[in-house]
Amino acid sequence: MRFILVIVLFLSTNSIFGQQDVENTVRAYLDTNFIELGLNRDDISEVFITDEYTSVKSGVYHIYFKQAFGGIQLESTNSALHLKDNEVISFNQGFINNHSDKINASEASLSHEDAFLSAMIHLGNNETGTLRLLEQNSDRPDKFRRYDQNEVSHDAFTIKLVYLPSGKNILLSYEIAVHDRATNKWWQIFVDAITGEVLEKVCWTLECHSNHDEDLNHKNPEIWTKNIWSVVKSGLANSPAMASSYNVLSFPFMSPLDGTRTLEADPWNAASNASPYGWHDTDGSAGNEFTITRGNNVHAQEDRNGDNGTGYSPDGGTGLVFDYTFDEHDDPVDYQDAAITNLFYWNNIMHDVWYQYGFDESAGNFQSNNYGNGGSGNDYVLADAQDGSGNNNANFSTPPDGSKPR
């Protein structure tokens, strides 16, 4: 059955008025349809807005939310309401009926430190390191806190209370989001806030391994390339970006087996709505802030020791010319400049192409400076070339918007 509700709203290009207005919009829809959705009024009494934005490409206003109890969100109740021209065009919900009868507790017995120790032991650590508080909000029922990176975490990590469905029950739990050093992966771990038992974990790191023995073929690469770039907007006249060039395996060639390297001049200009100040800017004004393989979308560097620290990046000088030799018979360290440049180029290309399909700032993409276009900034990609964690591998960790992916 299709449920339609016309909601009189005044939508801006990026967002609705405020958090309360967003909640009221969701509540108006749920109030009208909760019976048909198999819920009772208590089930829809609290909603937790996780994100909302208007797609510049489609004009659709997206609201994402979860069920909540006592100000604490229920996991696995992801729901979404999508509107265009003030009319609901799509809705999906994952609310749990009679949820309040299934909740085991409203107060945690474990401290943050105890819950974190339980999670770390589960991942193979014997300690928690020092928990140095960076951020907290005492008014939040979920006791959210952000801690600085330490001996067991590559990056800052967060701990907060959530309710986790488990069988017929809904358990008060700590959600811990941590980039663990022992496994070298980003984890979302749920620890029972009463018993300390690790209930569930989700890996935010996607890995790809290959021995590269098999033959790889791509049919009609010219057609594929044309289709991908068909929506890309042409460069802007009088762009404020500095000229730059990169000797790389250009799109769509993924390896030296697929094609030859070429010197690509100002590739950002093919989609300068995505990178209006080029690939080496971060302040949103004419002129580059970096002459190395770093900018608004990505910082590419070597990480041969596999410590996820700050490694070497090639410098293109004032002319931003990244033209380095590559010989596959050489030792990898001898062509690291070419490898890092290629990694920088491809990360930026993916950013710029996906931007055309709606993965922009308000949708949660990866940028240092969002140029006033919504979303959370300071989350450019940390791209490590010649990573010492393994061979013939690729991996990518995607934490929530506002945290740097790697």
Buried-exposed string 19-40: b where 16+ CB fall within 10 A, e elsewhere: eeebbbbbeebbeebbeebebe
294 with 149, same domain?
A: no
123 with 176, same domain?
A: yes
179 with 42, same domain?
A: no
Question: At residue 390, what is the residue type?
Answer: G
> Would you say residue 5 lies in a domain?
no
Q: What is the CATH number of the domain that holds 32?
A: 3.10.450.490
Grouping H, G, I as helix, E, B as strand and the rest as coil, residue 50 is strand
Residues 6 or more apart whose Cβ sits within 8 Å of residue 227: none
**pLDDT score for 194:** 98
195 with 313, same domain?
A: no
Check if the beta carbon of residue 105 is closer than 8 Å to that of residue 192.
no
List the one residue out of 139, 115, 138 whose CA is nearest residue 128.
115
**pLDDT score for 4:** 39
Cα gap 219→227, rounded to integer Å: 13
Q: What is the CATH number of the domain that holds 308?
A: 3.10.170.10
**pLDDT score for 223:** 52
**Residue 40 structural domain:** 19-101
CB atoms within 10 A of CB 366: 24
129 with 183, same domain?
A: yes
337 — alpha (psi -120 to 50), left (phi > 0) or beta?
alpha
Check if the beta carbon of residue 24 is closer than 8 Å to that of residue 18.
no
pTM of the model: 0.85
Which DSSP state fits 242? P
Element (H, E) at 92: strand 87-92
Mean pLDDT by groups of 10 residues along the chain of 406 residues? 39 49 91 94 96 92 97 97 94 96 97 96 89 92 95 93 97 97 94 98 86 55 55 56 93 89 94 93 93 98 88 97 95 96 97 94 95 92 89 83 85
Query: How many folded domains does the chain comprise?
Result: 3
369 with 386, same domain?
A: yes
**pLDDT score for 300:** 98
Check if the beta carbon of residue 95 is closer than 8 Å to that of residue 84.
no
241 with 390, same domain?
A: yes
**pLDDT score for 211:** 59
At which of 178, 203, 228 does a domain end?
203
Half-sphere exposure of 214 (CA within 13 A, CB side): 5
List the one residue out of 346, 359, 401 whose CA is nearest residue 379.
401
